[in-house]
Structure 1
Amino acid sequence: MPKAFTSAASPDTAVFETRPGSLESGLILICDHASNAMPSDYGDLGLPQSEFERHIGYDIGVRDLTLLLAERFDAPAVMTTYSRLLIDPNRGEDDPTLVMRLSDGAVVPGNARVDEAERSARLQRFHKPYHAEIDRLIDVHLEAGRVPALLSVHSYTPVWRSVPRPWHAGVLWDRDPRFPVALLEALKEDAELVVGDNEPYDGCLKNDCMYRHGTVRGLPHALLEVRQDLIGERKGVEAWADRLTPILQRLLRLQELHRIEHFGSRADSRV
């Protein structure tokens, strides 16, 4: 499948890429798996390039979709510049899947002997600066008296373990219903769409990106998943931006999306 791709900053020079935007938008876009690039000193982790072109390397189509939405709303966006195979910025620092040794059948030789020191080094160099940048943008908004809504953009494979996934898109969330429920309802107004509510994944993951920046800080947040075959080419990216633009324009006018409220997390109550 052809991939929607625009050149990103190199992880040798920057571990995140920020698209500046206006505080007036009321929106911060986040893209955890924007790139499949590797810093030169890590090489290819012992994998062929074809593995980095798969979903295990990055989320296909999401960087282009994030940038197009950011442009339309003049909203700030933060995107990674490195492959999730190096370290996954959507995982908490204590998550055992932070550095994957095996991903969808692919053994990752360069991760096989990652010890605590190397794990810590990757956290310090790649993971922490990305999240610090998200925190910085949030702080800029709050210091200006504006509470932003957070939208994290992801994509997923159309088939998983030989089973086709019926959803065109999914909205993942935990306990804060303000943004995700409104987004779900708006997407479901299109009779041609099959939309997953916490499908194909559950939005409750302790210490993940949305937990850290949305749940803990009491900010309205939602994670949008779009099926990769629908945004694998530029035409599909533009079609989804066209679909999302009027929806987000309407939702961002809701007062509840610009208040701090703490709903807690389902993850906090799990043993």
Structure 2
Amino acid sequence: MSQALLQTNLGDLPLTARGKVRDIYDLGSNQLLFVATDRISAFDHVLATGVTDKGRILTQLSLFWFDLLKDTVRNHLVTADAAQFPASCAPYLDQLEGRSMLVKRAEMFPVECVVRGYISGSGWKDYQQTGAVCGIKLPSGLRESDRLPQPIFTPAAKNNIGHDENISFQKMIDTIGQKPAEDLRALTINIYEKASKHAASKGLILADTKFEFGLIDGQITLADEVLTPDSSRYWPAETYNPGGAQPSFDKQFVRDYLESIHWNKQAPAPGLPPDVVEKTKAKYLEAFRLITGRANL
């Protein structure tokens, strides 16, 4: 098994951000280099062990969705062909191929655009406490994982540390303005509905997802990753059974392992045993193959 890439080292290229998964470099001319590493996080901590090829899977899935949605929304992609990257990237192709994107710099909105078609995760917790999610009143008597009467837009404020904070739509309006908020809400739901139809055709339920948008040349543009198992909750349709949590194509094996060892969810984060790494990689790969119809990365 090849080794997981936990951190890039691109010499003198200026690193502008190192997130939970992506390393971002400034290449000048309003262009950024996004590199998806094999880091994996859980409970708001990056773990000591990565998942081999996770970054490639996330990147290739994002590229698939950018292409599928290109008639629905602009995106920030310039090219994912490392051979077309600026010459300054050439010495580092071994770190870049298959897991990186050259993108246009966008002026990012400070909100996560979350859409939910089913009641799960933090939305389910909110509903149990208040009967609503982000201030949106929902029908009484819903069960965990029930399909909602219609998709709901539940934005979140971006936090640099810890969980993003669920906010009301009014708070989003107060933050970015009425028209941008309404435009982002409509676009988010439109993308979700189109993506849900594609997922359903592949035997998957897209329960919820989140998008990030920015402005490029004054136009709303889809950025970052799109509809990956890191940003979305996918369930196999054939086993869907509302009334509890559903099996999902994500890092649930990682969460389950960390709960089993009673980690206190404080730094330093532990590593993962090989079987948990392999099971997690297999889930990500299965999602990739179902969604894209491709056997290989």
Question: What TM-score comes out, normalization by structure 2 length?
Answer: 0.27
Which structure's relative contact order is higher, taking Cα pairs within 8 Å and 6+ residues apart? Answer: 1
More strand by share: 2
Q: Whose radius of gyration is greater, 1 or 2?
A: 2
